[in-house]
């Protein structure tokens, strides 16, 4: 990252407008290496710079890559209609730097949801072109049948879709639970595929994206974490 003055660094990280960040610095709210910084004349290297703003520690990053264990009752929209936005589960600074959910989960779906402010990453994770596998566990009211599993694999015709859609993989987990891997994410896709076969989806969890497993992140529902380089590698889309 190119060197910048501290007010600009803080602005880019989402601490507020340039003026608000200057006021934070001049007002003595910003510390660097345990020292209050009251001027913003010096040019600094922003990447990995650790700052303390109003006693909160922040490591500067050019882009952010975040995973959340989404609870129910949150919508994946910036302008939610019936429930709060998932963005409310992250510090406000993320929204100010235009961090967005990567794709969408229904308000009653739980599990792995990514966020980023990197447009290329968002596109690679969510565009059907890349067929990034997304793994779900669905619990149904009805008993799972071998026919259901086989129809998921051969393709299920949904209304308003030109041709049947097949899962990348499908396995029965127990009498009422099924694991489904999709290579695209159409609106209510799993619920609609189950409904087309006469099944009602009682609950739905996204357990994995690419090779990144929710379980390995050890996040309680509603908790989030930054993704490490190694975890980002697990999200590299499959090669075509």
Binding site for ligand URA (CB under 6 A): 105-106, 109, 136, 188-191, 204
CB of 104 closer than 8 Å to CB of 206: no
Provide the minimum distance between the beta carbon of 95 and ligand URA in the complex, in angstroms, as a whole number. 22
Provide the minimum distance between the beta carbon of 161 and ligand URA in the complex, in angstroms, as a whole number. 14
Q: Which of 99, 113, 125, 137 is nearest to 235 (CA)?
A: 125
Provide the minimum distance between the beta carbon of 153 and ligand URA in the complex, in angstroms, as a whole number. 17
Distances (CA, A) of 31 to 37, 45, 138: 6, 15, 48
Q: Which is nearer to ligand URA, 195 or 232 (CB)?
A: 195
Provide the minimum distance between the beta carbon of 105 and ligand URA in the complex, in angstroms, as a whole number. 4
Sequence-distant (≥ 6) Cβ neighbours of residue 84 within 8 angstroms: 73, 74, 75
Q: Which is nearer to ligand URA, 97 or 131 (CB)?
A: 131
Provide the minimum distance between the beta carbon of 106 and ligand URA in the complex, in angstroms, as a whole number. 4
Q: Which is nearer to ligand URA, 109 or 231 (CB)?
A: 109
Q: Which is nearer to ligand URA, 18 or 80 (CB)?
A: 80
Q: What angle do CA 176, 178, 180 make, to 5 degrees?
A: 160
Q: Which is nearer to ligand URA, 190 or 235 (CB)?
A: 190
User: CA–CA separation, 135 vs 180, rounded Å?
Assistant: 6
DSSP state of 144: P
Q: Which is nearer to ligand URA, 176 or 188 (CB)?
A: 188
Residue environment code for 132-171, b if the CB has 16+ CB neighbours within 10 A, otherwise e: bbbbbbbbbeeebeeebbebbeeebebeeeeeebbbbebe
Provide the minimum distance between the beta carbon of 100 and ligand URA in the complex, in angstroms, as a whole number. 16
Sequence-distant (≥ 6) Cβ neighbours of residue 31 within 8 angstroms: 37, 51, 52, 53
């Amino acid at each position: 990252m190119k060197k910048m003055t501290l007010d600009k660094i803080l602005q880019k990280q989402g601490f507020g407008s340039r003026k608000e960040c200057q006021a934070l610095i001049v007002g003595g709210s910003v510390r660097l290496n345990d020292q209050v910084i009251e001027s913003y004349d010096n040019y600094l290297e922003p990447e990995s710079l650790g700052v303390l703003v109003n006693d909160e520690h922040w490591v500067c990053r050019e882009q952010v890559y975040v995973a959340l264990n989404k609870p129910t009752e949150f919508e994946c929209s910036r302008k939610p209609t019936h429930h709060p936005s998932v963005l409310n589960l992250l510090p406000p600074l993320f929204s100010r730097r235009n961090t967005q959910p990567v794709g969408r989960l229904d308000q009653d779906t739980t599990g792995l949801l990514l966020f980023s402010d990197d447009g290329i990453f968002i596109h690679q994770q969510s565009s059907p072109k890349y067929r990034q596998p997304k793994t779900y566990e669905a619990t149904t009211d009805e008993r799972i049948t071998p026919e259901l599993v086989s129809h998921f694999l051969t393709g299920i015709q949904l209304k308003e879709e030109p041709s049947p859609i097949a899962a990348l993989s499908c396995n029965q987990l127990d009498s009422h639970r099924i694991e489904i891997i999709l290579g695209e994410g159409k609106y209510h896709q799993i619920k609609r595929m189950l409904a087309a076969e006469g099944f009602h989806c009682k609950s739905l969890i996204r357990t994995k994206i690419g090779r990144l497993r929710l379980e390995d992140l050890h996040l309680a529902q509603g908790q989030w974490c930054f993704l490490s380089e190694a975890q980002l590698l697990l999200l590299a889309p499959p090669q075509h």
